Amino acid sequence: MMSSLAAYDLLDPNGSINIIWDIMYWKPDGYLATVRISNLQMYRQIRSPGWTIGWTWANKEVIWSMVGAQAIDRGDCSNFKTNIPHSCETSPAIVDLLPGSVPQNQQLPNCCKGGVLGSWGQRDKAATVSWFQVSVGHSGTSRKTVKVPKGFYLLGPGAGYACSSAVVVPPSVFLSADGRRKTRAMTTWTVTCTYSPTLASKNPNCCVSLSSFYNPMITPCSTCACGCKDKHNCTKRDSEISTLLKPNLVMDGETQLLQCTQHMCPIQVHWHFKVNYMKHWRVKISITNFNYWLNYSHWNLVVQHPNLNNVTLVYNFTYKLLPYHSTSDTGVFYGVKEGNELLMEAENVQSEMIFGKDEKEFTLDQGWVFPRKVYFNGDECLMPPPNSYPFLPNSPNPIHPLLFAAALLLPNINNKTEAMNSLIAKNLCHNPIITIPFGVDSSNKDLKSQATLQDRGTSALEHT
């Protein structure tokens, strides 16, 4: 197995999933431990069907019982006549319990979420942690005699994580509910698991398409960007869905029913360079879910672009810069809580954002306005080849300023915007490069939210 040192994310160098094993008290033939799984990754989450962790016992330990999780296999417990253990496996695999599977008064805090963990940078911290309790027998009964398990692994939900060996650390300290009393674990060990795309070694789960106002060409996702193994099992029309779905069908999170596309990706991200203002520029982002069997709850989108340190306004998405990257060129977008944080099957979410211009850096040449890298839910999306990007026409001919002056004489903001749209649309084919003053009243929300150019972002999705 790849060492955890080889699993390193340049965009999130401190990101990891930590497993903390606290022995709370000793028993006649073993101990009771509380295990915490914490997701400290800024943008990578663990989605359904959730995490699986496992290890190999040092001796002949058994699991007498568990609260908040369960072993997948009980194993061979034929040596036990009565009081059968929960698991006799020498290398048990543990999964979280499903929500609602046990009464509330029999749950631990932060258990029973189906193994789903939110990313550290996105959700409330309680959503990034999972707990369970395990009673271990046939084990040591003191700090000197207990043996640390070995060979820890984490599936989240598939391959991709490399875990360190368990390391004994100072015992964890716990505060009482009223904060007036401290207790310590008998002993504590930790395991650190980090993600590696190389270890995952799979096809991409998403692709990127591009378009711009200055060129009618749309750069689609690459053909078979996510592999075409499912191209014979995809569906072409919504009307076919009802015949393919079965009542009470339980999805495992890996099974897919995709809409037939030339790229065969469950997720497509479309980046449309929409408007070039005098001191700002505007982009529309569309994220489309082509998977009919999977909703993406609490999704996130990571984009790498040199101008992301100067985002002026973002509509419909929540945005923040990733804190670790030295050049401040990487940002993460989330859905708005109780708004569009759920990306439904066969649906899309959209946003527009306005960048401030750095005159020394901004250029329309060589695809500078397009992202360098894009990640959806932590998975890197396949970008189209650079030589296929929408090219810049050779003979710029900006719209004459008098056209804008005429529009500005109209009686209200909405009419001004409509007039500018009309003038721009009429001149678009003759004037491929457009420089637009950043609004008459740049603080006016209506003006900002109006589309000032014909939007090719939606049509791009329809053609790919």
| Domains identified in the chain and CATH numbers | 17-197 (2.60.40.290), 203-243+255-394 (2.60.40.290)
Type of residue numbered 211: S
Say which residue, 64 or 239, is predicted with more confidence.
64
Mean pLDDT of 1-15: 67
Give the list of residues 6+ apart from residue 56 with CB closer than 8 angstroms, or none: 90, 91, 149, 150, 151
Say which residue, 388 or 434, is predicted with more confidence.
388
- Please give the mean pLDDT across all residues of the chain: 81
**156 has a pLDDT exceeding 60:** yes
| The pLDDT value given to residue 430 | 35
Say which residue, 241 or 358, is predicted with more confidence.
358
* CB burial string 23-58: b at 16+ within 10 A, e below: bbebeeebbbbbbbbbbbbbbbbbbbbbbbbbbebb
Mean pLDDT of 446-461: 37
Give the list of residues 6+ apart from residue 412 with CB closer than 8 angstroms, or none: none
| The pLDDT value given to residue 313 | 94
Least confident of 24-38, 133-147, 213-227, 404-418: 404-418
Do the bridges between strand 280-289 and strand 215-219 make them parallel or antiparallel, or are there none, so unpaired? unpaired
| The pLDDT value given to residue 447 | 30
| CB-CB contact of 258 with 290 (8 Å) | yes
**125 has a pLDDT exceeding 90:** no
Mean pLDDT of 415-431: 39
Mean pLDDT of 36-48: 93
Decide: helix, strand or coil at residue 457. Answer: helix
pLDDT tens-digit series, residues 101-110? 888 777 888 8
Say which residue, 74 or 441, is predicted with more confidence.
74
| The pLDDT value given to residue 392 | 82
d(C-alpha 421, C-alpha 70), whole Å: 60
* Closest CA relative to residue 169, chosen from 13, 55, 18, 1: 18
d(C-alpha 300, C-alpha 302), whole Å: 7
Type of residue numbered 18: N
**151 has a pLDDT exceeding 90:** yes
Q: What are the angstrom distances between the C-alpha of 51 and each of 143, 213, 291, 349?
A: 29, 43, 21, 27
Q: What is the 3-state secondary structure (H, E, C) of 359-380?
A: CCCCCCHHHCCCCCEEEECCEE
Say which residue, 460 or 195, is predicted with more confidence.
195
399, two tokens: 């719209």
Type of residue numbered 142: S
| The pLDDT value given to residue 188 | 98
**17 has a pLDDT exceeding 90:** yes
| The pLDDT value given to residue 374 | 97
Q: What are the angstrom distances between the C-alpha of 355 and each of 240, 333, 358, 439?
A: 42, 15, 9, 14
336, two tokens: 């708005």
d(C-alpha 335, C-alpha 341), whole Å: 4
Do the bridges between strand 280-289 and strand 267-276 make them parallel or antiparallel, or are there none, so unpaired? antiparallel
**398 has a pLDDT exceeding 60:** no
pLDDT tens-digit series, residues 316-334? 999 988 877 566 889 999 9
Do the bridges between strand 206-212 and strand 267-276 make them parallel or antiparallel, or are there none, so unpaired? parallel
d(C-alpha 421, C-alpha 433), whole Å: 15
**13 has a pLDDT exceeding 60:** yes
| The pLDDT value given to residue 327 | 65
Say which residue, 143 or 1, is predicted with more confidence.
143
| The pLDDT value given to residue 8 | 67
Decide: helix, strand or coil at residue 368. Answer: coil
| CB-CB contact of 224 with 441 (8 Å) | no
Q: Which residues pair with 321 in a beta bridge?
A: 331
| The pLDDT value given to residue 201 | 65
412 band by pLDDT with thresholds 50, 70 and 90: very low
Mean pLDDT of 186-212: 91
| The pLDDT value given to residue 443 | 34
Least confident of 113-127, 168-182, 348-362, 382-396: 382-396
